[in-house]
Amino acid sequence: MNYEDLVPVIRTLALEAGDKIMEIYGADDFDVKTKSDDSPVTAADEAADAIISAGLRAAFPDVMLVTEEQSATHTASGDTFLIVDPLDGTKEFIHRRGDFTVNIALVEGGKPTRGVVYAPAKGRMFFTQADGQTVEETGDFAKDKIGAVTPISVSNADNSALMVVASKSHRDQATDDYINKYAVKDMKSAGSSLKFCLIATGEADVYPRLGRTMEWDTAAGHAVLLGAGGDVVRFDDQTPLKYGKADFANPFFIAYAPSVDLKPA
């Protein structure tokens, strides 16, 4: 994969999908359906998916594509592929809380190497450049030209006063028990893949996830975090979180700045 070709394409597709999502978000009403796994899906999920998948297939026809909204892609197998969650944080979208993102990533050899996370309601855009460095773009987000960017990097964490980020809608006792192993200065809550981005920018130090996620939920945020000097490991044995698993389901994991003294499960 030529990263110089890839990065502008996934950035533009994320912006185009974001525009469509915000058009539906601003409507008086929108339909919410329930998928077979009881998770919600809206017209925005489906419209964003159509834009992104068509764009990726046109630009990279020979690369395997996995996308949340197309169940036929969930039986694909391989360790190198494009993976998409067109609207991560559908519950945040439905409740008009703004913490939702567009996620597109490239996985190579089981590792997310390039990705984009765009939060259209918050006006925040994070992506890995062709050279692998993650940046946050600021400005008017022109489709045809990358604007001003700021390189981002993880914190130099103070292990006596950590900033922890956790899910808005998936907190439970097991998560709290694990967080309590750390000396915590403060907690942030965020929806969707923004949690990875908060660690990538140094706004938080560690994000433990003791709940079900799929690879399309995490790949783009994982790529963004890797490009900012962070990492994501399995919760159980703290080995690297790998992609291309048989059902694209993730184990529990921890995303963190390497200066954090990780506690065992």
Q: Which residues pair with 190 in a beta bridge?
A: 167
Q: Each residue of 132-154: pLDDT tens digit? A: 999 999 989 999 999 999 999 99
Q: Is the pLDDT of residue 168 over 70?
A: no
Rg (alpha carbons) of the chain, rounded to whole number: 17
Q: Each residue of 123-135: pLDDT tens digit? A: 999 999 999 999 9
Return the sign of the alpha-carbon dihedral for residues 40, 209, 257, 238: negative
Run of H or E residues at 131: none
pLDDT at 25: 92
In Å, how far from its chain's centre is CA 141? 19
